[in-house]
């Protein structure tokens, strides 16, 4: 078991995961720069799989690169682009390179992307993928054929507490946990009462006990980013008053940060929540600032906490001491 | 003879009523008498995360999400046995694509619709 796996099991402190930027070519130096940006502040990064149905450097190649550079990758796998054979091959191939954390998603439809003419696959769905990953973790392919060598995988999944039907989301979270998910990353949302209801339901049905539930906090720069999500990103709803708050602020950049910070603090205040997942669209020092303000993540896990707590948020150059 | 005739009869009955896609392994009774193969992503364990706030489908916004409809019907349709209502929450195995076009009635009798790959563990 790796450090991330152990943390998911022990939850001795809040977990911080973040979305790793997708890449379109370049070389390993480009990946290394991004790894350096995240490494001191997060426990693992999600390696996306053609997010929003746009082609990028593959999840397998990026997960291997990130692993070799010393940061824990969570390799996301979506069901949109590949059938069950190809998906199993990707998981087993990545595992051979030391990638052991995976996150199963159904995936946005091809119509959300820039090649809507593509054939959608969906040979399997998100909950089935979780179960198939567990099969691989246990040492066989879906067919029953044995893997010659196998390692235990840390399997995760996602759920959207903000999309209807609300009570079904809680049940679906349970289905994914029963199928093998040990962590659950939640979709972005701006309706705290829906998150509260979902987490309460996941407390009642044992999901929060059996899996590390990580709500997503998104760092944006402006009202324009919120409007874009509202109009163009499937499954995300941004209420008008939230957009107005940023649009009418004297300093929209700062107000956007404060919004994310409030979201993170709210999520972490809910009973049963194991940490947060951060999506950063600001590409500045905000991830550092957020984990510092909330005293979260590896930078605050040991004696390093004292050192970090005494630094100011302006000290963008400090590195992990623990 | 029966093998070629039954799919035609089945589709004639289930097509107009449920928009049956002839997957050959019918789960209508588990999904509030709503065919999951009419979901544009053909999800057997939906709904996906892309459902709009008003319950509209991510892919075809003019249509209500198949799984929003399925769950509503599973809870509200009269005369459904309780076991059918409960089964919507069970994990269904990946579709056996080799059964597409077959009569699911025949596969129900033979048990072919319930046969899963040896490695399939479901949500045990």
Which of B27, B119, B121 to mutate to probe the A interface, most A CBs <10 Å? B119
pLDDT in tens, chain A (322 residues): 689 999 999 999 999 999 999 999 999 999 999 999 999 999 999 999 999 999 999 999 999 999 999 999 999 999 999 999 999 999 999 999 999 999 999 999 999 999 999 999 999 999 999 999 999 999 999 999 999 998 999 999 999 999 999 999 999 999 999 999 999 999 999 999 999 999 999 999 999 999 999 999 999 999 999 999 999 888 899 999 999 999 999 999 999 999 999 999 999 999 999 999 999 999 889 999 999 999 998 988 764 443 333 333 333 333 333 3
The Cα–Cα gap between B81 and B102 comes to 26
Range of the domain at B15: 1-25+97-115
Size of interface A-B (CB pairs under 8 A): 124
Q: Give the mean model confidence (pLDDT) for residues B96-118.
A: 89
- In this structure, the answer to whether residues B56 and B40 fall within a common structural domain is yes
What is the per-residue pLDDT for A135? Answer: 98
A128–B44 C-beta distance less than 8 A: yes
Same domain, B39 and B53: yes
pLDDT of amino acid B105: 82
Question: Are residue B107 and residue B53 in the same domain, yes or no?
Answer: no
Domain match, B63 and B83 both: yes
Residue, of B14 and A39, whose pLDDT is higher: A39
Same domain, B55 and B14: no
Q: How far apart are CA A262 and CA A189, in angstroms?
A: 13
Tokens 């999520």: give the residue.
A267
Contact B120 A134 (CB under 8 A): no
C-alpha dihedral over A306, A311, A312, A313, to 10 degrees? -80
Are A219 and A281 within 8 A, CB to CB?
Answer: yes
> Tokens 């679906």 label which residue?
A172
Of the partner residues A138, A140, A160, the one whose CB lies closest to the CB of residue B49: A160
Closest alpha carbon to A130 in A183, A195, A207, A201? A183
Domain co-membership, B41 together with B87 = yes
Map tokens 């691989």 to a residue.
Answer: A136
pLDDT score for B9: 81
Query: Has residue B120 been placed in a domain?
Result: no
CA angle (A191, A193, A197) in 5-degree steps? 125
Residue B69 near chain A (CB below 8 Å) = no
Cα–Cα distance, A171 to A198 (Å, whole number): 10
**Residue B76 is assigned to a structural domain of this protein:** yes
B98 touches chain A (CB under 8 A): no
Contacts of B124 in chain A (CB under 8 A): 178
pLDDT for res B104: 85
Check CB contact under 8 Å for A141 and B119. yes
Say if CB A19 and CB A71 are below 8 A apart. no
Query: Which residue segments constitute the domains of chain A, with CATH numbers given?
Result: 3-306 (3.20.20.220)
Same domain, B21 and B37: no
Alpha helices in chain B (DSSP H): 2-18, 66-76, 82-87, 104-110
In a domain, B122, yes or no: no
Q: Closest approach of chain A CAs to the CA of B79, in angstroms?
A: 22
Residues B107 and B65 placed together within one structural domain of the fold: no
3-state secondary structure at position A66? helix
Per-residue pLDDT, A315? 37
DSSP single-letter state for residue A187: P
Domain count, chain B: 2
Do the chains contact at A128 and B94, CB–CB below 8 Å?
Answer: yes
3-state secondary structure of A47: strand
Residue A158, H or E segment:
strand A154-159
Domain match, B39 and B65 both: yes
Say whether both B66 and B85 belong to one domain: yes
Quick one: B101 and B90 in the same domain? no
Do B19 and B42 reside in the same domain of the chain?
no
Residue B102 inside a domain? The answer is yes
Residue with tokens 């289930």: B14
């Amino acid at each position: 078991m790796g450090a991330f796996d152990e943390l998911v099991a022990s939850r001795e402190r809040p977990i911080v995961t973040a979305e790793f930027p997708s890449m379109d070519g370049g070389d390993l130096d480009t990946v290394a720069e991004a790894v350096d940006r995240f490494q001191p502040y997060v426990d693992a990064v999600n390696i996306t799989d053609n997010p929003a149905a746009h082609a990028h450097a593959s999840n397998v190649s990026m997960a291997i690169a990130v692993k070799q550079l010393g940061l824990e990758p969570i390799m996301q796998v979506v069901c949109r682009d590949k059938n069950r054979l190809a998906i199993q091959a990707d998981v087993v191939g990545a595992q051979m390179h030391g990638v052991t954390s995976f996150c199963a998603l159904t995936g946005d439809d091809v119509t959300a992307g820039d090649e809507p003419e593509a054939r959608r696959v969906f040979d399997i769905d998100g909950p089935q993928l979780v179960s198939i990953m567990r099969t691989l973790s246990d040492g066989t392919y879906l067919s029953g054929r044995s893997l010659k060598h196998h390692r235990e995988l840390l399997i995760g999944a996602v759920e959207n507490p903000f999309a209807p039907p609300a009570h079904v989301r809680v049940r679906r979270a349970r289905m994914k946990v029963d199928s093998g998910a040990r962590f659950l990353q939640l979709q972005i949302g701006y309706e705290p009462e829906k998150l509260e209801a979902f987490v309460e339901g996941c407390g009642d049905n044992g999901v929060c006990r059996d899996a590390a539930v990580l709500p997503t906090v998104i760092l944006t720069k402006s009202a324009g980013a919120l409007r874009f999500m509202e109009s163009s990103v499937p499954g995300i709803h941004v209420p008008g008053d939230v957009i107005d708050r940023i649009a009418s602020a004297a300093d929209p950049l700062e107000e956007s940060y404060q919004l994310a910070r409030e979201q993170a603090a709210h999520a972490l205040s809910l009973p049963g929540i194991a940490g947060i997942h951060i999506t950063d669209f600001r590409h500045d020092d905000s991830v550092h600032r957020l984990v510092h303000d909330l005293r979260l993540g590896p930078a605050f896990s040991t004696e390093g906490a004292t050192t970090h707590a005494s630094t100011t948020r302006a000290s963008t150059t400090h590195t992990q001491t623990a | 003879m029966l093998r070629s005739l039954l799919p035609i009869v089945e589709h004639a009955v289930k097509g107009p009523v449920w928009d049956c896609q002839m997957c050959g392994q019918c789960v209508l009774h588990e999904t509030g008498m709503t065919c999951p193969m009419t979901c544009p992503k053909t999800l057997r364990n939906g709904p996906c995360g892309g459902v709009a706030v008003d319950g509209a489908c991510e892919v075809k916004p003019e249509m209500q999400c198949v799984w929003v409809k399925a769950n509503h019907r599973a809870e509200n349709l009269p005369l459904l046995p309780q076991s059918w209502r409960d089964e919507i929450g069970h994990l269904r195995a990946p579709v056996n694509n080799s059964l597409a076009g077959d009569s699911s009635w025949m596969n129900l009798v033979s048990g072919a619709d319930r046969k899963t790959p040896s490695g399939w563990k479901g949500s045990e």
